[in-house]
Amino acid sequence: MLKVVHYINQFFANIGGEEMAHVPAELREGVVGPGLAFQQAFGGEAEIVATIVCGDSYFNENLEKAKTEIIEMVKKQNPDLFIAGPAFNAGRYGVACGTIAQAVKEELGIPVLTGMYVENPGADMFKNSLYIVSTKNSAAGMKDAVKKMAPLALKLANKENIGASAEEGYMPNGVRKNFFDQERGSKRAVNMLLNKLSGKEYVTEFPMPDFDRVAPNPAVKDVRKATIALVTSGGIVPKGNPDHIESSSASKYGKYDIEGVMDLTEETFATAHGGYDPVYANIDPDRVLPVDVLRDLEKEGKIGKLHRYFYTTVGNGTAVKNAKGFAEKFAQELKADGVDAVILTST
């Protein structure tokens, strides 16, 4: 039988409301309050061995102390799962549930689950790091919350594969997961459009991301004195692709020395990119990484100098997260090397 430790606040332990929120953390054996509903929903697969009761004020005002005390209590029980809440729309309770669940997960390495209303401040704080089941906004939604939380709790405790948020009932956590829906996509689109047209509620399957729009830097003061670097996602590499940058979905970038290189030629450079017809880029790689033109400008005194290294990767199907990671690394190098400006080329 799986062992569960349950965390609730003073209100759900029937100690009292706000006036009793100062009570310190205590451990009680077995189920208390809403634990009973969980116990029943587990249907003999799991047992709540202990319930930790803690006042919301006590937890939030003595954060580190409360955390340490509670972690100790949980540790002694050696459970397979830790459940906090559900907290519904109680703000401090929600934050406490998220905070303690996160701490148990990180420090004890056991699966954790909590539940709360989507507008509870704890939801925004923890939904990307914890499974938080979306509940109604008051304790009247307890039955519904337990119905959603109990099956997910068992899956987590059994270390089963967790499906998409829409299937399991947890709040979308920024990690996209596939699942088979009831209707095909076109039918879902027609239904969504009919709802949108009639002013009814509809839920997009993919909320548009907030694009990381970068405000342009101020203009370079005197380009005739500036050191300029070349960076490309067009895949130009020394011929033979010495670092084996992938032709698609790149996991790395290359940094190559072009000291004394006046012109990129078919014999010395090529593209590693698998998403465009490479013929013209290979005949003259300057078409993608314009070393020749920058050398001319250098000679004519129109720029200070071309930076000694260029950075390159393949943009084809490469996850934005990877690309961002590359740039975060080499941007520091560029800064340290005193580069004033970068020409970024794509294909």
Partner 1 sequence: MKLELGYVFIKDIQFAEQSKVENGTLYVNKEEVKALILEDQNFKSADVELARPGESIRIMPVKDVIEPRVKVDGPGGIFPGMVSKVETVGSGRTNVLKGAAVVTTGKIVGFQEGIIDMTGTGAEYTPFSKLNNLVVVCEPVDGLKQHEHEKALRFAGYKVAMYLGQLAKSLTPDEVHTYETPNLVEGLKLYPELPRVAYVLMLQSQGLMHDTYVYGVDAKQTLTTMLYPTEIMDGAIVSGNCVSACDKNTTYHHLNNPVIHDLFEEHGKTLNFVGVIITNENVYLADKERSSNWSAKLAELLGVDGVIISQEGFGNPDTDLIMNCKKIEAKGIKTVIITDEYAGRDGSSQSLADADASADAVVTGGNANEVIELPPMDKIIGYAEVADIIAGGFDGSLHADGSITAELQVITGATNEMGFNKLSAR
| Residues in touch with partner 1 (CB under 8 A) | 164-167, 172, 174-190, 192-194, 196-198, 202, 204-209, 211, 246-249, 274-277, 316-317, 319-322
Residue 213 Cβ vs partner 1, minimum distance, rounded to whole Å = 10
Which residue number, 56 or 246, has a Cβ lying nearer to partner 1?
Answer: 246
Q: Which residue, 16 or 174, has its beta carbon nearer to partner 1? A: 174
Query: Which residue, 64, 52, 67, is CA-closest to 12?
Result: 52
Nearest approach in angstroms of CB 305 to partner 1 is: 32
Q: Tokens 């720029």 appear where? A: 303
Tokens representing residue 247 in the block: 């032709």
For residue 161, the minimal CB distance to partner 1 (Å) is 12
Tell me the three state secondary structure of residue 170: strand
Q: Whose Cβ is closer to partner 1: residue 121's or residue 172's? A: 172
User: Taking the complex as a whole, how short is the minimal distance between the CB of residue 325 and partner 1, in angstroms?
Assistant: 10
65 vs 196, which CB is nearer to partner 1?
196
Least Å distance, CB 275 to partner 1, is: 8
In contact, 310 and 257? CB cutoff 8 Å = no
DSSP code of 223?
G
Return d(Cα 140, Cα 175) in angstroms, integer.
30
β partners of residue 4: 48, 81
Judged by beta carbon, residue 182 or residue 217, the one nearer partner 1 is 182
| Of residues 340, 336, 271, 337, the one with CA closest to residue 308 | 337
C-alpha distances (whole Å) from 127 to each of 3, 101, 143, 268, 303 are 24, 11, 22, 50, 49
Residue 185 or 301 with smaller CB distance to partner 1 = 185
Task: Give min distance, CB of 26 to partner 1, in A.
Answer: 39
Q: With respect to partner 1, which residue has the nearer C-beta, 243 or 292?
A: 243
**CB within 8 A of 38, min separation 6: which ones?**
4, 6, 31, 48, 83, 146, 149, 150, 153
Name the minimum Å distance from CB 113 to partner 1: 18
Residue with tokens 């709540």: 48
